């Protein structure tokens, strides 16, 4: 079995991941329980990777789609945790 050739470029980190974060945030306009949002981000990552960034190579799309979704979830979680800590620190100083 040959492993797929995967080329990473500017699309991966600078465009795809923020797009997935923004699209996932758009889903918050609907009455969806919050525990499903990481799964939504993963599904969006697979869709974008398979059909846009790695079209023509399904295995590379699946492989990179998992990274897109995980990176989007991690980015959102990191930003949210930082924001909450910042607000708590700011409130405790007053």
Residue 77 has a pLDDT of 94
CB atoms within 10 A of CB 79: 11
Residue with tokens 């007053």: 94
Looking at the domain assignment, is residue 2 inside a domain?
A: no
Looking at the domain assignment, is residue 53 inside a domain?
A: yes
Residue 92 has a pLDDT of 87
Looking at the domain assignment, is residue 65 inside a domain?
A: yes
Looking at the domain assignment, is residue 73 inside a domain?
A: yes
Looking at the domain assignment, is residue 5 inside a domain?
A: no
Q: Which value, in Å, is the radius of gyration of the alpha carbons in the chain? A: 16
> How far is the C-alpha of 57 from the C-alpha of 47, rounded, in Å?
13
Looking at the domain assignment, is residue 50 inside a domain?
A: yes
Looking at the domain assignment, is residue 48 inside a domain?
A: yes
Query: Domain total for the chain?
Result: 1
Residue 10 has a pLDDT of 73
Characterise 4 by phi-psi region: left (phi > 0), alpha (psi -120 to 50), beta (else): beta
Give the mean pLDDT per block of 10 residues along the chain (94 residues): 68 86 95 95 95 87 92 94 94 82
Residue 35 has a pLDDT of 94
Report the predicted TM-score, pTM, of the whole model to 2 decimal places: 0.82
Looking at the domain assignment, is residue 46 inside a domain?
A: yes
> How far is the C-alpha of 17 from the C-alpha of 78, rounded, in Å?
13
| Domain assignment of residue 83, given as a range | 10-93
> How far is the C-alpha of 76 from the C-alpha of 43, rounded, in Å?
16
């Amino acid at each position: 079995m040959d492993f797929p050739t995967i080329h990473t470029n500017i699309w991966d980190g600078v465009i795809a991941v923020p797009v997935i974060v923004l699209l996932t945030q758009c889903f918050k306009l609907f009455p969806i329980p919050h525990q499903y949002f990481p799964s939504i981000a993963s599904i969006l990552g697979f869709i974008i990777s398979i059909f846009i960034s790695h079209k023509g190579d399904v295995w590379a799309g699946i492989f990179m789609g998992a990274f897109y979704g995980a990176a989007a979830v991690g980015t959102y979680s990191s930003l949210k945790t930082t924001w909450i800590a910042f607000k708590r620190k700011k409130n405790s100083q007053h």
